[in-house]
Amino acid sequence: LADKIIQRCGGSLHFFDAAAPIVTADSIDMEYAFTASRYDKGGDDAYINCPMNKEEYERFHAALVQAERAPRHDVDVQNPKVYEGCMPVEILAQRGLDTLRFGPMKPVGLRDPRTGHRPWAVLQLRSENANQSMYNLVGFQTNLKFPEQRRVFGMIPALHDAEYVRYGVMHRNTFLDSPRLLSADYAMLDTPNLFFAGQMTGVEGYMESASSGMMAGINAVKRMKGEPSVILPPTTMIGALSRYIADSTVKDFQPMGANLGILPPLTETIRDKRQRAAAYAQRSLDDLSQIMGQLS
């Protein structure tokens, strides 16, 4: 079956061994960060850059190489045999003090506007979705335990209080390059009568996979009846997930589970986390109630 899917999708069946963490945009401390592209190419807001001076970097490096890694039965976590492009950042760091500075944390082509000089090291954050509510830690694929990721990556000044919508992981998985293959109703772009659902579409988690199957099933029936597809509002988690897997602006597509970061921001700022989550939920229910009739 996998071979047939690969053939049908033009080889667009992705495998990955490690993924980088994703943080919410509003948890990045911009007092210690700046927006810029290398050599001022690509627009000022292409990346959020998190600079470090020499002392900060060396403390971070020492903590990174000593941090506790998640155990795995199918790979040597101290010396994993993975693709070089997916090499965990902690493995790169143990190759030498300056390896990261010549790799994912290279500062060339960047100037910190606070100092007017090139930083000693820089972590770049890349927008993970169209509304720029989530940012990926570029080049920071990792197999550190989740608390260690928060502790060690929190030593980067701009991420001292970062909220993680997904921690970095190392595992083997198979999924479609959905933004290039699927529409938000889970049908193939070039074959609208063929639907995919579940983890292989890039939704991560039991409830997420079940929701994709539900929506794919509803829309398959509607397609048979000659009726238009139904896509839930982007303010609902199911609707936001279906739009994420079909978002063509996502270049380095990786699976995503339900999280508030993929929802459109609230119109008002709510500091209390519980109240903010409740506001998201109520908005979702209000919008969902307006289209329930379309699901039958």
Q: Report the 3 state secondary structure along 201-224.
A: HCECCHHHHHHHHHHHHHHHHHHH
CB distance 278 to 156 below 8 Å: no
Strand, coil or helix: what is 150?
helix
Q: Which pLDDT value is given to residue 2?
A: 72
Q: Which residues are CB-neighbours of 273 under 8 A, at least 6 positions away?
A: none
More confident residue, 8 or 256: 256
Work out the angle at residue 83's Cα, subtended by the Cα atoms of residues 79 and 85, and round it to the nearest 5 degrees: 110
- What's the CA gap between 264 and 277, in Å, rounded? 13
CB distance 105 to 128 below 8 Å: no
More confident residue, 212 or 37: 212
**Residue 134 in tokens:** 């989530």
Tokens 């082509």 locate to 109
Instruction: Indicate whether 83 pLDDT > 80.
Output: no
**The CATH fold of domain 177-295:** FAD/NAD(P)-binding domain (3.50.50)
Instruction: Indicate whether 105 pLDDT > 90.
Output: yes
Q: Which pLDDT value is given to residue 41?
A: 74
Instruction: Indicate whether 215 pLDDT > 50.
Output: yes
Instruction: Indicate whether 177 pLDDT > 50.
Output: yes
* Domain boundaries of the chain, sorted by first residue: 17-172, 177-295
Q: Which pLDDT value is given to residue 79?
A: 56
Is the CATH code 1.10.10.10 the one for domain 17-172? no
Q: Residue 24: in which H helix or E strand, if any?
A: strand 22-24
Q: Is 100 left (phi over 0), alpha (psi -120 to 50) or beta?
A: alpha
- What's the CA gap between 117 and 28, in Å, rounded? 22
